[in-house]
Amino acid sequence: MQPQHSVALDRAISADRFTTYLRAGGGDRERARALYVWDRDVASAVLADIAIVEVAVRNALDGALTEMHGARWYTRDIGLDDRSRHKLAVAWRDLPRSRRTPGRVAAQLMFGFWVDLLDSGGTVGREPQQWSVSYEDLWRGGLARAFPGGRTEAAACGGRFTRTWTHDKLRTTQALRNRAAHHEPLVNGVPLPGRAQSRQPRISVRDGLDAYLLVLRMIDRDLADWVTQEPRVPAELRRRP
């Protein structure tokens, strides 16, 4: 990097943000800048992969809901909690009336909506008319079929193919996706929201990579094989300054 470019980059990065890379680089400003650029390149590679993962997850879960409740499942009471109902309502509101087709409604829903379908579920209504909603019912009712390779993949890593186990892999994928998409540092790993600090406060980018490739294999092993034929993320991780 030429001197004027180093100065320009230093101007562009806040002092607090640069401190993260300075610490990771052992106080060496040149290495800190190299780590910042490397971080950008890792994020770019991660998002290229996760663009495929997001679409695969969305279409797999939409397909399962369609089998369970028909193509317009989003117009029926399928047992969603208020959080999911709100996200669905926002997606519906933001689509022009002429474009409210099943495919476009599914595409309008953010990744978080689909990930949330595999958590435990929340509540619906307001007190005193408030009830708990169990997403285990959705899972057992057909959402598990969105992951035809789930049992094989879970067994291969010593786990059990359950809603909770699958949700953990998707949450890990989502945490890495959000970190990269929001331009947050990856150099020191990725925090997992809601995870107790004493257990495992952060995962590595490699952990996130393993999680989203596992999710892809659960949905379609051939698709996962295609993504791994261009291993940009592992190549960037090996290139760390």
- 3-state per-residue secondary structure call for 187-235: CCCEECCCCCCCCCCEECHHHHHHHHHHHHHHHCHHHHHHHHCCCHHHH
- When pLDDT is averaged across residues 121-125 and rounded to a whole number, the result is 95
Helix 205-219 crosses helix 163-181 at what angle (to 10 degrees)? Answer: 130
Tell me the two tokens of residue 222. 């051939």
pLDDT of residue 199: 56
Model confidence band, residue 96 (pLDDT cutoffs 50, 70, 90): very high
pLDDT of residue 40: 95
pLDDT of residue 198: 45
The answer on pLDDT for 195 being more than 60 is no
The answer on pLDDT for 160 being more than 90 is yes
CA–CA distance, 5 with 178 (Å, rounded to integer): 28
**What's the pTM?**
0.92
- When pLDDT is averaged across residues 54-74 and rounded to a whole number, the result is 98
Residue ranges per structural domain of the chain:
3-10+27-238
- When pLDDT is averaged across residues 165-187 and rounded to a whole number, the result is 96
The answer on pLDDT for 41 being more than 60 is yes
- When pLDDT is averaged across residues 132-157 and rounded to a whole number, the result is 97
Bridge-partner residues for 123, per DSSP? 132
- Closest by CA to 206, choosing from 191, 189, 222, is 189
Q: 125 — alpha (psi -120 to 50), left (phi > 0) or beta?
A: left
**Average pLDDT of the chain, as a whole number:** 93
CA–CA distance, 112 with 131 (Å, rounded to integer): 22
pLDDT of residue 141: 96
- When pLDDT is averaged across residues 1-9 and rounded to a whole number, the result is 83
